[in-house]
């Protein structure tokens, strides 16, 4: 690092290079604005008054700041049910995911396991071909999992991509001599797995935990297909009803003034809802950024 | 001798899971060749040969949803594939570490927004009256614009570019990781020979990530037909259906939506999709193997 900075002093930027850097830095600045602006707009709208939102006054900063939108969100009992269920699915689903992924990845990381190739093929093939929506639905129905929490936890217990990342990590970071030494000391595979493999795989466990948790938090597809009981709905499904299917329908009202007010309130609620549902996952993100990136890198080593 | 049986005990539960939840449904594909009835189920329904396929291939829907699927997929691929590569090369050229970190963090953020919220945001922002789009259009032109969200011609653009917005930053990570391993000496030698920074991007950085680019292209090509059900379905309405009905949403509408329930017919359509997809991956992989020596297997 220091060597390259020393060299840099000898090699002055040419005018050409200066222009290059100005263009790159400027371009990235513009891209940042493009990425941020929709987010700023949503957040500002969520803190504005219903009247300002329906009159389209919000462009950058909140107008007539209020917390009305958030009050409306937290008075909505569906949102609480959704939050409760999503936290449940995220926590238990991720525990099942990580446990299943580890017990699949560990044996498959061992070079001398007979039949390993076949099992790996069975896993990888499912990335390229699957039964499809209807046969999957019939299976879940026949297993009597429709309208149970199991439909949210079990059908995607292992994401093959994450299993491959984990296997690659164990293969590259836990030397097999270690397992030989442990065996000579009389340690069996189960003890070795819990005493050595799991603690030494902390980094990759962090990575797949995050991948799985984000996926659970944001998922709506399984719930949409398999759940009809509102008490079991995850947050995303309630969000779909409110944000997209528009269960709050202002056109039902005749009085134009009241209609405008209702429309403004409905929009305000939506903006606040977007913020409330997305902020938790975005808040975790800066803290775990380096693990996420590590995960992609481990995955890319496999190629 | 090592205790392999204990390793197999580890594998037992994942294998049962795999066979039951991933392979058993593949047996269910046989209903594509049957007339599915609730009483008969997967195994007991009557065989009808290729009747369901004939019905699909000759239907009016086939000539609509196949082009819709292909156009949306290719448009998305062409728009979304090069941008992370260019962005990664830009990131890599930034010398001020703090600025680089900042820009990267900002561009990763949209990745964490769920599909439902993303579509909700589109609906809010592109609302022709109260949304930012309507308000700005009105203040410039003096009248409210036509509704974009119910417009078949706008559907693909909204779908593709919101997707690009969400995935461009996150997609750079694999290339940035690749670029970090480029030998500094290469750059220094080129610099001494008088190469400008831009020339070094073209002749050092870009060649360094090309193998990864071709792997990513194979993966993307394999996903051509897998255009996501979730986002298309959420964005779909009766007004834009002529552009937004794709294979996966049609499978849902025929098979599971209210008024649907034709399991056999829906399975035919899903199977058609999976088979094309599978062939695509194999072909693209083979091409890449001969042309660039990089392949998935």
Residue A249 scores a pLDDT above 50: no
Interface test with A, best of B18, B41, B90 (most A CBs within 10 A): B18
One-character DSSP codes across B214-271: HHHHHHHHHTTT---HHHHHHH--TTTHHHH--HHHHHHHHHTSTT---HHHHHHHHH
Coil vs helix vs strand at A65: coil
Interface test with A, best of B23, B113, B114 (most A CBs within 10 A): B114
Subunit contact B103:A189, Cβ cutoff 8 A: no
Is the ipTM beyond the 0.95 threshold? no
Query: Taking the CA of residue A87 as centre, how many other CA atoms within 13 Å lie in the half-sphere pointing to its CB?
Result: 7
Mean pLDDT, residues A284-296 taken together: 71
Give A303's contacts in chain B (Cβ within 8 Å): 215, 294
Instruction: Give residue B20's Cα distance to chain centre.
Output: 26
* pLDDT tier at B297, thresholds 50, 70, 90: confident
Name the one residue in this structure whose structure tokens are 């950058």: A60
Tell me the Ramachandran region of residue B293: left when phi exceeds 0, alpha when psi lies from -120 to 50, beta otherwise.
left
Give A278's contacts in chain B (Cβ within 8 Å): 112-114, 117
Q: Looking at CA atoms only, how far is residue B191 from chain A in angstroms? A: 8
**Token duo for residue B8:** 């197999």
Identify which of A158, A225, A303 has the shortest CB distance to residue B14.
Answer: A158
In angstroms, the CA B297 to CA B288 distance is 11
* pLDDT tier at A82, thresholds 50, 70, 90: very high
* pLDDT tier at B79, thresholds 50, 70, 90: very high
* pLDDT tier at B103, thresholds 50, 70, 90: very high
Mean pLDDT, residues A191-217 taken together: 89
Interface test with A, best of B13, B130, B213, B267 (most A CBs within 10 A): B130
User: Could you say which DSSP state residue B35 is in?
Assistant: E
Lowest mean pLDDT among A76-90, A252-266, B88-102: A252-266
Subunit contact B116:A244, Cβ cutoff 8 A: yes
Whether A20 contacts B196, CB under 8 Å: yes
- Dihedral Cα B151, B115, B223, B236, nearest 10 deg: -30
Residue B99 scores a pLDDT above 80: yes
Whether B82 contacts B175, CB under 8 Å: no
pLDDT at A135: 93
* pLDDT tier at A56, thresholds 50, 70, 90: confident
Which residues lie closer than 8 Å to B257 by C-beta, 6 or more apart?
none
- Dihedral Cα A192, A197, A200, A201, nearest 10 deg: -170
* pLDDT tier at A6, thresholds 50, 70, 90: very low
Whether A204 contacts A106, CB under 8 Å: no
pLDDT at B128: 86
Whether A103 contacts B10, CB under 8 Å: yes
- Number of other residues whose CB lies within 10 A of the CB of residue A8: 13
Share of chain A above pLDDT 70, in %: 87
Q: How do residues B255-266 score in pLDDT, each as one tens digit?
A: 888 766 889 999
Q: How do residues B169-182 score in pLDDT, each as one tens digit?
A: 989 988 988 898 88
Q: Looking at CA atoms only, how far is residue B263 from chain A in angstroms? A: 6
Instruction: Give residue A143's Cα distance to chain centre.
Output: 28
pLDDT at A3: 47
Q: Looking at CA atoms only, how far is residue A293 from chain B in angstroms? A: 7
- Number of other residues whose CB lies within 10 A of the CB of residue B35: 16
Whether A231 contacts A77, CB under 8 Å: no
Smallest CA-to-CA distance from B10 within A198, A128, A143 is with A198
CB pairs under 8 A between A and B: 263
Mean pLDDT, residues A159-168 taken together: 90
User: Could you say which DSSP state residue B34 is in?
Assistant: E
**Mean pLDDT of all residues in chain A?**
85
* pLDDT tier at A80, thresholds 50, 70, 90: very high
Residue B1 scores a pLDDT above 70: no
Share of chain B above pLDDT 70, in %: 98
Lowest mean pLDDT among A81-95, A182-196, A284-298: A284-298
Whether A17 contacts A11, CB under 8 Å: no
Name the one residue in this structure whose structure tokens are 């260019």: B86
Lowest mean pLDDT among A57-71, A80-94, A241-255, B135-149: A241-255
Identify which of A114, A218, A281 has the shortest CB distance to residue B115.
Answer: A218
Please tell us whether the domain made up of A70-303 is placed in CATH 3.30.465.10: no
- Number of other residues whose CB lies within 10 A of the CB of residue A186: 7
pLDDT at A277: 92
Q: How do residues B193-235 score in pLDDT, each as one tens digit?
A: 888 889 999 999 999 998 888 888 887 877 777 777 889 999 9
What domains, with CATH codes, occur in chain B? 52-115+141-292 (1.10.3720.10)
User: Could you say which DSSP state residue B46 is in?
Assistant: E
Q: Report CA torsion sign: B249, B250, B253, B255.
A: negative
Q: A113 vs A247, which has greater pLDDT?
A: A113
């Amino acid at each position: 690092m220091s060597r390259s900075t020393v060299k840099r002093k000898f090699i002055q930027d040419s005018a050409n290079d200066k222009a290059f850097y100005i263009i790159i830095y400027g371009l990235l600045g513009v891209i940042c604005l493009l990425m941020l602006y929709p987010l700023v707009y949503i957040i500002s709208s969520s803190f504005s008054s219903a009247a300002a939102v329906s009159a389209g006054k919000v462009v950058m900063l909140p107008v007539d700041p209020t917390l009305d939108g958030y009050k409306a969100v937290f008075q909505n009992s569906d949102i609480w049910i959704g939050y409760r269920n999503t936290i449940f699915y995220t926590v238990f689903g991720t525990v099942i995911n990580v446990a299943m992924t580890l017990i699949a990845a560990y044996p498959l990381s061992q070079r001398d396991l007979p039949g390993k190739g076949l099992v790996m093929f069975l896993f990888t093939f499912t990335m390229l071909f699957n039964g499809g929506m209807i046969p999957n639905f019939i299976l879940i129905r026949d297993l009597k999992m429709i309208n149970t929490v199991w439909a949210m936890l079990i059908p995607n217990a292992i994401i093959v991509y994450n299993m491959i990342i984990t296997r690659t990590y164990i293969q590259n970071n836990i030397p097999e001599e270690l397992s030989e030494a442990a065996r000579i000391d009389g340690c069996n595979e189960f003890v070795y797995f819990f005493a050595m493999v799991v603690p030494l795989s902390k980094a990759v466990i962090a990575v797949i935990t995050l991948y799985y948790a984000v996926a659970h938090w944001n998922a709506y597809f399984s719930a949409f297909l398999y759940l009809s009981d509102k008490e079991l709905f995850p947050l995303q499904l309630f969000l779909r009803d409110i944000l997209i299917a528009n269960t709050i329908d202002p056109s039902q009202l005749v009085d134009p003034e009241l209609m405008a007010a209702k429309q403004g309130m409905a929009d305000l609620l939506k903006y606040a809802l977007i913020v409330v549902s997305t902020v938790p996952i975005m808040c975790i993100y800066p803290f775990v950024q380096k693990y996420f990136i590590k995960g992609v890198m481990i995955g890319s080593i496999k190629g | 001798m090592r205790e392999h049986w204990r390793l197999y005990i580890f594998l037992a539960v994942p294998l049962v899971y795999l066979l039951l939840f991933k392979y058993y449904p593949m047996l269910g594909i046989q209903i594509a060749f049957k007339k599915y009835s609730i009483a008969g189920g997967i195994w007991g329904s009557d065989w009808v040969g290729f009747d369901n396929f004939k019905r699909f291939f000759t239907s009016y829907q086939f000539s609509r949803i196949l082009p819709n699927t292909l156009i949306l997929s290719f448009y998305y691929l062409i728009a979304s594939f090069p941008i992370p590569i260019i962005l990664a090369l830009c990131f890599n050229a930034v010398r001020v570490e703090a600025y680089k970190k900042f820009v990267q963090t900002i561009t990763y953020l949209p990745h964490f927004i769920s599909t439902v919220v993303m579509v909700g945001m589109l609906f809010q922002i592109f609302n022709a009256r109260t949304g930012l789009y309507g308000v700005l259009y009105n203040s410039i032109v003096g009248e409210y614009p036509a509704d974009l969200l119910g417009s078949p011609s706008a559907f693909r653009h909204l779908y593709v570019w919101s997707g690009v917005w969400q995935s461009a930053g996150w997609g750079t990570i694999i290339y940035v990781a690749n670029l970090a391993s480029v030998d500094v000496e290469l750059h220094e030698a080129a610099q001494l020979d008088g190469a400008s920074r831009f020339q070094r991007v073209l002749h050092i950085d870009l060649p360094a990530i090309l193998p990864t680019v071709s792997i990513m292209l194979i993966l993307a090509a394999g996903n051509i037909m897998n255009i996501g059900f979730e986002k298309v379905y959420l964005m779909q309405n009766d007004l834009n259906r002529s552009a937004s009905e794709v294979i996966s949403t049609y499978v849902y509408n025929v098979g599971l939506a209210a008024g649907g329930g034709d399991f056999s017919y829906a399975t035919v359509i899903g199977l058609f999709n999976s088979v094309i997809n599978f062939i695509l991956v194999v072909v693209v992989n083979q091409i890449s193997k001969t042309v660039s020596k990089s392949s998935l297997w």
